Structure formats: structure tokens, C-alpha cells
Amino acid sequence: MATIHNIPLITTMTGAEAAVDGIAALRAGASEDVAPSDAWNVKPLQEYFPAGTAKGKR
């Protein structure tokens, strides 16, 4: 039910610790003129490794 309503669901202590560490890192990266949501940028792997540029491609 939680995931249907976009509520995070953490089922292990290890997962909870990782979530807390991530939230702390986001907050630490923010400053007075940068919102926590803008402190980090996330990109898909395809932007780091465009098609046809991977080493060892067969």
C-alpha cells in the first residue's frame, strides 16, 4: 500500500541505515542558496557511457 502512494518502504535495518546516510549526505551538500533537492544531480548511466563507446564491446 505504501508504494502505491509514493511512500518509501524500508524493510531492513541495513536499508534504513543507508537511507539515513543518504539523507544526511543530501543535507550536507545543500547550502543557504542551494535547496537539498538540488544539491546533487542524478544522471542515467547512458549519459556517462553513450551507446557504442563502451570498452570491450562485442
For residues 31 and 40, is the Cβ–Cβ distance under 8 A?
no
Give the chain's residues under pLDDT 50.
none
**pLDDT score for 24:** 85
Residue 19 and residue 25: Cα distance in Å, rounded? 10
**pLDDT score for 26:** 75
